[in-house]
């Protein structure tokens, strides 16, 4: 596994774990829909996440929550492009774009985006070619179907094996399209086409995915797998999110995608202190 991920002009050191802050430019995101969909509000939110220690900001213009409505490429671009441009201009940070749309990939890359994060693993028509054209690293996530239908009775004979097989297939497709292995991240896709049992079995067996030889990005922040166990609404899932974040780090995740950067950074620092064996200097 490569130690570094080249994200445009930035080099991300994967020998240490990182926090990716979620910045939704959507009116219907499951957790914070509409809360940051003005440019000023988004920039203020971004500044706070970077000050708290986020290494990457992940900008999305299409909600992928279960049952989410689709948007046109132009609608998505209109939401995302001005924000990416403003972030790149104002802040010294890696901006990731959470998109499956080829046009959004190429146009935000020109604006200075450093990473493409695709829940559909570059399966939309033209997406592989667009991603390869940008030269940017990509994050491939496991999902079956589309957000509108993905939770309709998902079934697996062996969830960890099937997720690994899917991701290997997409890695091969990327390499064939000209995207180097060193430029690929993998996301198990918690909450996407998986029921509660699938999610927790996959989480338990996450170390098996290291056999693919690529860094893992994990996003479980505020998700329904937490709410179902704790019987808590979205805005009361912080402690559950932190627990799973630390367990993901223990299982080898390199990037944790979260809403609550301040609190997750505290958890990450304690994880690192334990890993290193804390010594006063």
Nearest by Cα to 62 from 121, 104, 93: 104
What 3-state DSSP class applies to 274? Answer: helix
| Local structure of residue 153 (DSSP, 8 states) | S
Q: Would residue 194 show up in a list of annotated catalytic residues for this protein?
A: no
Write out the DSSP string of 200-259: HHHHHTGGGGGGG-S-BEE--TT-HHHHHHHT--GGG-HHHHHHHHHHHHHTT-SEEEES
Q: Would residue 170 show up in a list of annotated catalytic residues for this protein?
A: no
Write out the DSSP string of 14-57: TTS-EEEEEEE--S--TTTTTTT-SHHHHHHHHHHHHHHT-SEE
Nearest by Cα to 219 from 175, 194, 187, 196: 187
Of 45, 222, 237, 257, catalytic: 257
Kind of pairing between the strands at 94-98 and 115-118: parallel
Of 45, 120, 222, 223, catalytic: 223
Q: Which element (helix H / strand E) includes 196?
A: helix 196-204
Catalytic residue numbers read 223, 257
């Amino acid at each position: 596994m490569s130690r570094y991920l080249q994200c445009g002009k930035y080099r991300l050191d994967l020998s240490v774990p990182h926090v990716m802050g979620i910045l939704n430019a959507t009116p219907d995101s499951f957790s914070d829909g509409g809360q940051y969909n003005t440019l000023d509000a988004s920039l203020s939110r971004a500044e706070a996440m970077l000050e708290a220690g986020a290494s990457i900001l992940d900008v999305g213009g299409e909600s992928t929550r279960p049952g989410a409505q689709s948007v046109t490429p132009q609608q998505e671009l209109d939401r995302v492009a001005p924000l990416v441009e403003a972030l790149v201009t104002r802040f010294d940070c890696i901006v990731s774009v959470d998109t499956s749309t080829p046009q959004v990939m190429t146009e935000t890359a020109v604006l200075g985006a450093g990473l493409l994060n695709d829940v559909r693993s570059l399966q939309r028509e033209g997406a592989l070619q667009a991603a390869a054209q940008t030269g940017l690293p990509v994050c491939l996530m496991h999902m079956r179907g589309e957000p509108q239908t993905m939770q309709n009775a998902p079934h697996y004979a062996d969830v960890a094996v099937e997720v690994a097989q899917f991701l290997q297939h997409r890695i091969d497709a990327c390499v064939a399209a000209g995207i180097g292995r060193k430029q690929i991240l993998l996301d198990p896709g918690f909450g996407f086409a998986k029921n509660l049992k699938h999610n927790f079995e996959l989480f338990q067996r996450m170390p098996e995915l290291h056999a693919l030889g690529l860094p893992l990005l994990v996003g479980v922040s505020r998700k329904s797998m937490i709410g179902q166990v704790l019987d808590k609404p979205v805005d009361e899932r912080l402690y559950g999110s932190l627990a799973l974040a630390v367990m993901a780090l223990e299982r080898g995740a390199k990037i944790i995608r979260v809403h609550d950067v301040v609190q997750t950074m505290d958890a990450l620092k304690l994880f690192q202190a334990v890993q290193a064996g804390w010594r006063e200097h």
